[in-house]
Structures are given as C-alpha cells and as structure tokens.
Chain A
Amino acid sequence: MEALTKKLVEAFGPCGFEDEVRDLIREEVAPYADEIEVDQMGNLYALKRGDGSGLKVAIAAHMDEIGLIATHITEEGFVRFTNLGFIIPHTLMGARVRFADGTLGVVSRDKARFVADMDKMPGVDQHFIDVGASSRDNCPVKIGTPGVIWQTMEVQGSRWIARCHDDRIGCVIGVEALKRLAETPHDVYFVFTVQEEVGTRGAATAANRIEPDVAIAVDVTPASDVIEGFPMQMKLGDGPGIKIKDMGMIAHQGLARLMQRRAEEAGIPYQPEVLLVGSTDARAMQIAGPGSAAGAISIPNRYTHTTSEVVDAADVENSVRLLVEILSKPIAL
C-alpha cells in the first residue's frame, strides 16, 4: 500500500481536474471490479457484485485535493491565484506549486521581507507564484490554469508524510479493500469521487446515480494528539475513526454501531469520532436521491490541508481490515 500511496499522492488532481488520479486508480481496480464506469463529472465507479442477498453499498473516497487556479499574471510574470477548496494561507509561503502543464513555481507573498508585517497573515490573494518568467508574455501559466501545492511523499518509521493524504489515502484504502474483498453479499460500488473539497459535489451526483442503501465515506479526520490540537479525541496510530457526527451530518447510528461491532469482533482498534469542523462525501450521499444510511471511516491525519499531512501505516492497514469486515458480512440496520 505504501507504493500505491506514493503513486497517488504524487499525482495531480485539484478539484475539477482529477483525470490523472482517476487514470491511476482505474488501472489498479480494473482487474478486481466486475464493472467500471466513469460519469460525466468524472466520478469513477468500480462495482464488485454480491451474491444477491445483500444491500447496495457505496464506498466513497474523493480523488480531488485542495488546489489553486491562476487569476492574474502580473506585468513581471508572477502568477496571482485563488484557492480551489480550503487552503490555509499560513501554509503557502515558500511552498512549491505544480501547474497542470508541469510548470513548477514557488509561492511568496507581498511585502515578504518586511519583518514588521510578519505577524499579519495575508489572504491567499496577497500571495504570488514565481514560475521563472520575466514578463506576462513569457509566463507559461495563463488565467484559469489549475495547480497544486507540490511535495513528494516521505516515509519515516510507521509515519507516512505527504501533501494530500486527504483523500488519496482514502482512495488507497478503497482500492485495497476491493482487492482483498473475496466474497460479499452486497453489490459494492467503490466510488472515487470528484470535487469534494469544493462542497461534496461529485458524491451528490454519484449517490443520485447509484441510489445506495448504505453509503460509507473513507476520508481523513484531524488527529488531535498534538500541542493544543483540535478539541476532540483522535490519536494517530490508535485505529480508524468510526464517525458518530461531524459538522455536516449525524451518521446513521445503527450503521455506526454495526461498524464498531465488526471492529470489536475482528480485534481491530477504532476510535469513535465526533468532529466539530468539516464533513465528508457521506454528508451528500446521506441526503441525495431517496437517501441512504450513511457513515464514515476516518483516518487520523495530522496537519490536514497543509503540505505535510501525516498518517500512520497501522491506521491505514486497520481501515482496510475494518472495511473488508463490514463488506464481507451482512448489514442489518
């Protein structure tokens, strides 16, 4: 899984421009899926058929990552930009950017050398990207060109450090669960969604299409075990979170209990998750079409939405195991 994670987190896929990620995932799932489809927004569906006795289950992980898009090229050839999804401005200074055409850039901010301004945090619009151009005319980036903050993945012990575990790690877990899922009573749609970071847009249309009975998102959640971390209990390495509630939804409590029971039966560590900020694709799938019983498996992730997000390999492995446990057994709600 480490190799697949590296491949996926080093792929380009800001909201609305997920093609590269989709191609990679498609290659991975093709040998294991009974059916593969891509819809008009770019959601990828890999269907694993059940024996006919179970439910229609959607497992959603989003392919998109937060990114940026050029809004103006200055006379000197610097690129102004706006965010695609929630970029924390503090993470921008000195970050590297990769644009859709491969152009690399470095981010700085207006008045960067004025120490007096250091304690003020300028917005995204007061940053610019240097792509090595010297004028508007020779700047390879045009207004409307999308980009991402660029970093390679590094591994240190059990910790995987990468720029967009949110939510490529969910994609990895989905792919791996499909590979390991030998038999299932359910028709399981592994959905790799688009445009989550701009408002769970892909998942809504995907749920309208599939009309699942059960929808489970696999996404990251902020690990709170750092100095003055989030006011929640979520420790890196202590097992996947099982969603009780977040800002966008209340999980189906019967489903949440069933997920906990499956974890306990299989001896998989887990953490009940109550998240005060943010939500996942499950929120959209819960209320799309005729509605579904929705929940989420949440991978503890330190420094979410920064250039160096950190997950623990054990949590990744346990998330896959939990997902396979849930999917290979009956789901009675």
Chain B
Amino acid sequence: MNALLKQLTEVNGVSGDEKAVRLLLRDLIKDHVDDYWADAVGNLIALKKGTGESDLRVMVDAHMDEIGLVVKSDGSDGTLEFDKLGGIDNRTLSGKVVHIGKDKIPGVIGLKPVHQSSIRERSAVPSDLRIDIGANKKEEINGKVKISDHVAFVSSYTELGPTAIGKAFDDRAGCAAIVELLRGERYPFDLYAAFTVQEETGMAGALVASYRVKPDVAVVLECTPAYDLPNEKDVSANTKLGAGPCIYVMDNRTMHDPRLVKHVMESAEKHHIPFQIRQPGGGGTNAGKIQQAHIAVPVVTVGLPGRHAHTPNGMISLDDYKNYVKLADAALRELTRDTITRNS
C-alpha cells in the first residue's frame, strides 16, 4: 500500500479550502527542507537549498486543491443546493456520498429513482441536483451546515493489483511526487516546491507563486486525464494508463517550452523510463500562469495518466506513478543553465 498516496488523496481540499492538505503536506516535508511558508493565498512554498553547483532557481508545482462542491442554500426544505467548484460533469454526481464543511457532515446527492422517472428524464443530463443530509426541514439542519461550506466527495484509496482507485489523484499524485523529491538528495540548484491552491477554479495559486518565486525554470507535476478505454477505431488517447508518465507539448493554456520538452524526453530515454507524449489539445495546467505571471519562465508539465478524471473515483497505474517520480527527479537533476540558453 502506498501510504503517501493514501494519506494525500483521502484528505479533503476542495478549491478554496485547502488548509487540511496544506497542514498534512507541511508535516510530510518539514524535516526535509530548509525553509517553508504559506503565502497570502494559501500556497505552501518550500525551499530545498541546492549543493551550490548551479545558480538556477527552479520551481516545481503541484496543486493541492481538488474538484468539489459548495453549498449555496440554507436547506429550508431539508436539502442543500450547491454549485460546482472545478469542471464537473453532472452525469457523474447522483448517488455520490459527500462530506460537508469542517465537521464532515455526511450527505448524498439524490436523484429521482428509476421506478418513478420517465425514459426521457433518464436520458437527460440531470440538473437541479440536491444534497440530502437526512434532515426533514431547516430546523434540523440548523447549525450543522451553512451556505459557503465546501463539499468534498468521499472515496477511500484502494489498490487493485497494478492500479489504485481513489479521489483527488488530480493533483495529490503531483503533491506526493514532490514530497518524494524533497525527501531525496539535494539538487545542484535551489528547488522551490510550490503546493498551490485553486487550480481547478482558474489557477490563481500558481500565478501568485510564480510571481513571488520568480523561477528560472518551472516543472509542473499534474495528473492527466487518460481516456484510453475501448472506443472508436484508430484514434489516439489523450494519454494511456500504464504507458508511463506523459510529457506535455501543447494545451489550451500553454505552449510548453520545446527545449524543456526535449530535455525531459532525453532524461527519460537516458534512464530507460517509459514515457508518452500527451496528445496536444484542450485542457490546461498551472504551466501557463507560471510561464506568464511576470517575466517569461520556461515551463513544462509532466503528467501521471489518470482514468475517470474529475470524478470521485479516478484510477492510476502504480508503475506509472513510480516512473513519474523517477522522471521528474532525473529531469530535474540533469537541468543546467545550458538547457535554457538560446543559441539565437
């Protein structure tokens, strides 16, 4: 059992409410870094000083937040209305167990039963969903939950042979990888670890972190959707489970730096680490904000493929995870000023 992944994915940290994740991460890293602090928006930044061989300032980013919900009604009819935080498909919501607020009040997202619904209702995307916390009227809810409470999905980390199922691999897998990097040997350069907030709602944390840290190079560690189940003939998957960590070239937010893309690929080849190119196209990571927060920063994203992304039950390959950490470590160790020096 990967204890780090279990711990980090089972803690709740919906966008805007990352405190529990931040506290856990702080405890996980504090004996392995030279300094750490939380900034004004709630990012946890840690500095692992280098050996002094290189004057580069390198930042590695993973976001602490996960998708979730927020309560937006006072429950006068005994149920709670909610809004979504992050990209969530309504089709994935009904029947899911959730925890509301600090006290983790349990609830379930309800739907009209199959017995009572028409075929037309059943073939439509459900709207108007509510969280049921088992109260019959407002008085019974009173005090337990309030408008603006964050709502997290409940899902426990489970390993199934070569894979693991759980919530929030996006992006606690990245957080876990950074914890492992920080626990390793010093790098030739000062490494700033940025555990950032509010990625799923617009990447506010990364923008602030990059502006403050002003790195020379940044590497984003993400969990990347893998839609590789049997589907149409002769199409490429965004990424495939089990084919190794993926390297980003282009997405909606970022043209990942071609020099760094090449560098990461070369590190993978040199160390015989399997990797895949993440299919160019939609989506986005913190890389864009980091690149453009202030003066241009060369960025690249390395992703761990994860099936069923943005649902309460994602799936990753544990081999991919090992190779993801290995690749991030190797690519960082081999980073030099030359990697980002232009010949023209």
User: CB within 8 Å of B: which residues of A?
Assistant: 15-17, 19, 22-23, 26, 38-43, 69-75, 80, 82, 84, 142-144, 195, 198, 201-202, 204-206, 208-209
Q: Within the complex, what minimum Cβ distance (angstroms) separates A115 from chain B?
A: 25
Give the residue name and chain of the A residue nearest to B217 (CB): A40
Q: Tell me whether A143 and B295 are in contact in the complex, defined as CB-CB below 8 angstroms, given that A38-B344, A40-B340 are known contacts.
A: no
The reply to whether A43 and B296 form a contact with Cβ atoms under 8 Å apart is yes
Leading 3 A-B pairs by shortest Cβ distance: A16-B255, A41-B296, A72-B236
The reply to whether A143 and B279 form a contact with Cβ atoms under 8 Å apart is yes
Interface string of B297-331 (1 = CB under 8 A from A): 11000000000000000000000000000000000
* Residues of A contacting B235 in the complex (Cβ-Cβ under 8 angstroms): 72, 80
A100 to B295 alpha-carbon distance, docked (Å): 27
* Residues of A contacting B277 in the complex (Cβ-Cβ under 8 angstroms): 142-144
Q: Within the complex, what minimum Cβ distance (angstroms) separates B68 from chain A?
A: 28
Which residue from B280, B294, B297 sits with its C-beta under 8 Å from A144?
A: B280
Which residue from B234, B255, B295, B344 sits with its C-beta under 8 Å from A39?
A: B295
The reply to whether A205 and B249 form a contact with Cβ atoms under 8 Å apart is no
* Residues of A contacting B279 in the complex (Cβ-Cβ under 8 angstroms): 71-72, 143
Q: Tell me whether A69 and B249 are in contact in the complex, defined as CB-CB below 8 angstroms, given that A143-B277, A205-B295 are known contacts.
A: yes
Q: Tell me whether A198 and B255 are in contact in the complex, defined as CB-CB below 8 angstroms, given that A40-B296, A41-B296, A75-B234 are known contacts.
A: yes
8 new A-B pairs (CB below 8 Å) besides A38-B344, A69-B250, A208-B295? A16-B250, A17-B255, A39-B295, A41-B296, A144-B249, A195-B255, A198-B255, A205-B295
The reply to whether A82 and B344 form a contact with Cβ atoms under 8 Å apart is no
* Residues of A contacting B342 in the complex (Cβ-Cβ under 8 angstroms): 38, 42
A42 to B297 alpha-carbon distance, docked (Å): 10
Q: Supply 10 A–B pairs (Cβ within 8 Å), ascending by A.
A: A16-B250, A16-B255, A38-B344, A40-B257, A42-B342, A69-B250, A72-B279, A73-B236, A201-B291, A208-B294
B201 on interface, CB distance cutoff 8 Å: no
Interface class of chain A by DSSP? mixed
* Residues of A contacting B95 in the complex (Cβ-Cβ under 8 angstroms): none
A236 to B296 alpha-carbon distance, docked (Å): 36
* Residues of A contacting B87 in the complex (Cβ-Cβ under 8 angstroms): none
B126 on interface, CB distance cutoff 8 Å: no
* Residues of B contacting A41 in the complex (Cβ-Cβ under 8 angstroms): 291, 296, 298
Chain B: interface residue total (CB-CB under 8 A): 25
* Residues of B contacting A43 in the complex (Cβ-Cβ under 8 angstroms): 296
B292 on interface, CB distance cutoff 8 Å: yes
The reply to whether B340 and A143 form a contact with Cβ atoms under 8 Å apart is no
The reply to whether B298 and A69 form a contact with Cβ atoms under 8 Å apart is no
B50 on interface, CB distance cutoff 8 Å: no
B261-281, CB < 8 A from A: 261, 277, 279-281
The reply to whether A17 and B258 form a contact with Cβ atoms under 8 Å apart is yes
Which residue from A16, A143, A201 sits with its C-beta under 8 Å from B236?
A: A143
A145 to B280 alpha-carbon distance, docked (Å): 9
Give the residue name and chain of the B residue nearest to A70 (CB): B280
The reply to whether B295 and A209 form a contact with Cβ atoms under 8 Å apart is yes
* Residues of B contacting A74 in the complex (Cβ-Cβ under 8 angstroms): 234
Give the residue name and chain of the B residue nearest to A202 (CB): B296
* Residues of A contacting B257 in the complex (Cβ-Cβ under 8 angstroms): 40
The reply to whether B298 and A40 form a contact with Cβ atoms under 8 Å apart is yes
The reply to whether A23 and B236 form a contact with Cβ atoms under 8 Å apart is no
The reply to whether B255 and A71 form a contact with Cβ atoms under 8 Å apart is no
Q: Within the complex, what minimum Cβ distance (angstroms) separates A111 from chain B?
A: 15
Give the residue name and chain of the A residue nearest to B249 (CB): A144
The reply to whether B280 and A205 form a contact with Cβ atoms under 8 Å apart is no
A208 to B234 alpha-carbon distance, docked (Å): 45
